[in-house]
């Protein structure tokens, strides 16, 4: 057993401003709702603890505007496609739009270049709501590339516009966009990764290089948390632990680690991080 465990917290971790804004607007809306029903289109964030609290405050999750005929709908920070705004307008459903400005920027680029006749290429996970939403600003006609094997062979375009999901590691963006730009005669390439993601990834990598084990806190379905896990595993393949809450550490013997680093995804609230630190302090 290590005599003293040193716990270090990543310089940048936890809630980013986009998620913070979405969550606080959601809590505000439930407080002010009076007799109106409030819904969110998909879970506000990828964090079950926050979702449970919002549910207790009266926020219901719907999958589509089709599911309701009245009420107020919160659009989460991941954003949605253009058709959702049109559908809500037709049904006269009020929207509270918490789309993160970084995501809005991508949607505007895609809308603009699609109108100019460019083939849109989105580097990202096709199943992620942010990517689906972005594709909804070019009529679903974007080519979505997650990995090298997704790149179509021998396909060329006169004009292509490349954007990237906000949480994609920069290294991967450069690797894939370097190949993709050869597909077009005229290429517009935008680094649309967000600074909050970059900061968290750099801080996690930096900290993983200084400790014996890393604890990464965040939803198992959170894309940006998963990226932090992968980054830490590059340096600490056998001693990176991905947990959602402090309970995730129970039964794990960490007592032999001298230095333990802690980081958290952009959708992990402060109180969950504090709980984990409290748990780790037992090993001190």
Binding site for ligand SF4 (CB under 6 A): 16-19, 77, 100, 102-103, 166, 194, 196-197, 224, 266
Residues in the chain: 284
CA 232 centroid distance within chain: 17
At a CB cut-off of 8 Å and minimum separation 6, what does 118 contact? 157, 159, 160, 161, 186, 188
Give the span between the Cα atoms of 133 and 152, in whole angstroms. 22
Using alpha carbons only, give the angle 122, 123, 128 rounded to the nearest 5 degrees: 85
Catalytic residue among 3, 63, 70, 130: 130
Residue 129 or 261 having the CB closest to ligand SF4? 129
User: Both tokens of residue 238?
Assistant: 């056998």
Residue 176 or 196 having the CB closest to ligand SF4? 196
Residue 17 or 283 having the CB closest to ligand SF4? 17
CB of 3 to ligand SF4, least distance (A): 38
Residue 128 or 211 having the CB closest to ligand SF4? 128
CB of 141 to ligand SF4, least distance (A): 23
- What's the burial of 17, exposed, middle or buried (CB within 10 Å: 0-12/13-18/19+)? middle
* Residue whose C-alpha is closest to residue 80's, from 147, 140, 15, 167: 140
CB of 252 to ligand SF4, least distance (A): 28
Residue with CB nearest ligand SF4?
Answer: 18
CB of 270 to ligand SF4, least distance (A): 15
Strands (DSSP E) found in 71-219:
72-75, 94-97, 119-123, 143-145, 157-164, 184-189, 213-217
SS3 233: helix
Residue 105 or 233 having the CB closest to ligand SF4? 105
Question: Could you tell me the CA-to-CA distances from 255 to 217, 236, 258 in Å, in that order?
Answer: 19, 17, 8
Residue 3 bears catalytic tag:
no
CB of 206 to ligand SF4, least distance (A): 19
The residues carrying an active-site annotation are 130
């Amino acid at each position: 057993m290590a005599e003293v465990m040193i716990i270090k917290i990543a310089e940048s971790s936890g809630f980013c401003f986009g998620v913070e804004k979405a969550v606080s607007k959601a809590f505000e809306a439930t407080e002010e709702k009076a007799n109106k029903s409030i819904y969110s289109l998909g879970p506000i964030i990828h964090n079950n603890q926050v979702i449970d609290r919002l549910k207790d405050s009266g926020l219901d999750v719907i999958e589509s505007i089709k599911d309701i005929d009245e009420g107020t709908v919160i659009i989460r920070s991941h954003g949605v496609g253009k058709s959702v705004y049109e559908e809500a307008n037709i049904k006269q459903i009020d929207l509270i739009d918490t789309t993160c400005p970084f995501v809005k920027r991508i949607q505007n680029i895609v809308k603009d270049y699609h109108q100019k006749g460019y083939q849109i290429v989105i580097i990202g996970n096709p199943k992620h709501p942010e990517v689906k939403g972005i594709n909804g600003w070019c009529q679903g006609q974007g080519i979505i590339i997650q990995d090298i094997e997704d790149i179509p062979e021998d396909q060329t375009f006169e004009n292509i516009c490349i954007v990237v999901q906000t949480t994609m590691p920069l290294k991967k963006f450069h690797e894939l966009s370097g190949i993709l730009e050869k597909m077009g005669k005229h290429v517009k390439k935008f680094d649309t990764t967000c600074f909050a993601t970059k900061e968290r990834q750099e801080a996690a990598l930096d900290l993983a290089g200084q400790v014996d084990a890393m604890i990464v806190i965040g939803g198992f379905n959170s894309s940006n948390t998963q990226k932090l896990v992968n980054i830490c595993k590059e340096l600490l393949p056998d001693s990176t632990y991905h947990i959602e809450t402090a309970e995730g550490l129970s039964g794990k013997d960490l007592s032999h680690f001298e230095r333990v680093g802690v980081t958290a995804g952009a959708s992990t609230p402060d109180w969950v991080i504090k709980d984990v630190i409290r748990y780790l302090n037992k090993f001190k």
